Amino acid sequence: MQTPTTTDSASQTHQVWLLQHKREKQKITAVQILLLITLLAVWELAARMGWIDTFLFSSPGAIVEIFWIYFSNGTIWAHIGITMWETFVGFLIGTFCGIAIAVMLWWWPVLSRILDPFLVVMNALPKTALAPIVIVWFGAGLTGIIAVAVSICIVVTIISAYTDFRSVDADKIRMLESFGATKGQILRKLVLPANRDNMLSLAKINMGLCLIGVIVGEFLVSRSGIGYLIVYGSQVFRLDLVMMGVVILAVCAWILNSLINLLERHIKKS
């Protein structure tokens, strides 16, 4: 008769922990869904009972009704598609360019000291207030809207990534230098891998910032997109259209964040 080994016991304990973690996650998801359903039910009830002014607050039923109209004629997908495309392109440009500039600042400390006050001022400026200027510079179209998204996220990316790069343990850098490692090798083998999780977190922030920039740009000049739907609904006093745009925007933000989470899990497993 064989007695259970320490390894078997540890494996069983790990399996129990995984099961508990899975059940806890399912409970949290169930509570989240229940909370959402409750909020929508209370909102719909308040609208039907006259507790709130439906002209100002609309109702879930009215939002579903107008969504079905846009869904039936197929126009809703064009609006969603253009907003998601602008957000995705702005995210890629802002994130990669921001990280590239942060690498340059880490590589040349003198350059970082020269640009530091300019980055601080640019970070403090209200980016949405500069959106009309950016639109004038890049044009009142797709390029201008993407430029607004990039302008909102790139400075945050530069400052955050550069701060993370500088936070790498100096002793490890000196150890690699003592073995004759070049600066490029230190960057590839130590600095970037050490900040993998930080850059993934930064990607989540950038996705949200780019979506904000795209909506601001669409508010100003677009004739399509979710931002355009929201502005158009407010202009014609159709609050159900405005609320539909807000709900779709929330769903899009959730989808984009979920994509980043999937990428994060894939990278961590590899």
Over pLDDT 70: what percentage of the chain? Answer: 96
> Residue 105: is its pLDDT beyond 80?
yes
Q: What is the CA radius of gyration of the chain?
A: 24
Tokens of 268: 């961590």
pLDDT at 84: 92
> Residue 104: is its pLDDT beyond 50?
yes
CA angle 186-191-193, nearest 5°? 110
pLDDT at 51: 86
Q: How far is CA 105 from the centre of its chain?
A: 25
> Residue 3: is its pLDDT beyond 70?
no
Task: Tell me the pLDDT tens digit for each residue of 129-175.
Answer: 788 888 888 888 889 899 999 998 899 999 999 999 988 888 888 88
pLDDT at 1: 45
**CA–CA dist 136, 56 (Å, integer):** 34
Task: Tell me the pLDDT tens digit for each residue of 168-213.
Answer: 888 888 888 888 888 888 888 888 888 888 888 888 889 989 999 9
> Residue 8: is its pLDDT beyond 70?
no
Question: What does the mean pLDDT of the chain come to?
Answer: 86
Task: Tell me the pLDDT tens digit for each residue of 20-47.
Answer: 877 888 888 889 899 989 998 998 899 8
Of 220, 236, 66, the closest CA to residue 148 belongs to 220
Over pLDDT 90: what percentage of the chain? Answer: 22
pLDDT at 270: 67
> Residue 6: is its pLDDT beyond 80?
no
Average pLDDT over residues 253-270: 83
Most confident region among 15-19, 48-52, 106-110, 120-124 by mean pLDDT = 106-110
Tokens of 76: 């809703």
Of 203, 200, 188, the closest CA to residue 107 belongs to 188
Dihedrals phi, psi of 126, to nearest 5 degrees: -70, 110
pLDDT at 157: 92
